[in-house]
Every structure is written in C-alpha cells, then in structure tokens.
C-alpha cells in the first residue's frame, strides 16, 4: 500500500506492505500511522510538475480533455 505518481520518481510504500503483518486486527496499517492517528495514513500529492497548462489550467502528462465545447478537438 502507498502511492505512486504516473511517470515519476515520486512514490512511497507504507512500511510493512507486502508482509505477513499487512492484514488483520494487529496489522501494520491498523496499528501504525504517519500522522499520529493509528490506522490513518496521509500523503500530500499536490506539488507535482507544474510545467504544463492549457487555457490557464494545470494539466498533467497523459491527461485527456476536450479543448472545445463541441468535443471535436
């Protein structure tokens, strides 16, 4: 468990992922935390690449969107 951003080196695995202690009432995820609340994990992901914009809106690499109201472009 954790997160991974698309085409990026930014990623994190929660300690204990892929272990025998990853599930159940005494699991790593239920008893531990990175925000001092057992069982709660939080990750800030809003500071990725800001180099791409379209009509003043930030877009990520690989985003799909229509550039006109008729959905033709």
- Digit-coded pLDDT (tens) for 1-57: 777 766 666 677 777 777 787 788 888 888 888 888 988 888 766 655 556 777 777
pLDDT at 51: 60
Instruction: Choose among 27, 31, 51: nearest CA to 40.
Output: 31
State pTM to two decimals.
Answer: 0.47
Give the pLDDT confidence score for residue 49 in this predicted structure.
Answer: 53
Q: CB within 8 A of 29, min separation 6: which ones?
A: 1, 14, 16, 22, 23, 39, 41
Count H helices, E strands: the chain?
Answer: 1, 4
Give the span between the Cα atoms of 2 and 25, in whole angstroms.
19
Please give the structure tokens belonging to residue 56: 């003043």
Q: What is the pLDDT of residues 23-35, one digit of tens each?
A: 888 888 888 888 8
């Amino acid at each position: 468990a954790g997160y991974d951003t698309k085409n990026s080196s930014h990623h994190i695995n929660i300690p204990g992922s892929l272990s025998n202690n990853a599930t159940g009432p005494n699991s790593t995820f239920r008893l531990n935390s990175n925000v001092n609340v057992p069982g709660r994990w939080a990750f800030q992901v809003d500071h990725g690449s800001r180099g791409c914009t379209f009509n003043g809106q930030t877009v990520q690499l690989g985003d799909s969107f229509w550039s006109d109201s008729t959905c033709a472009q």
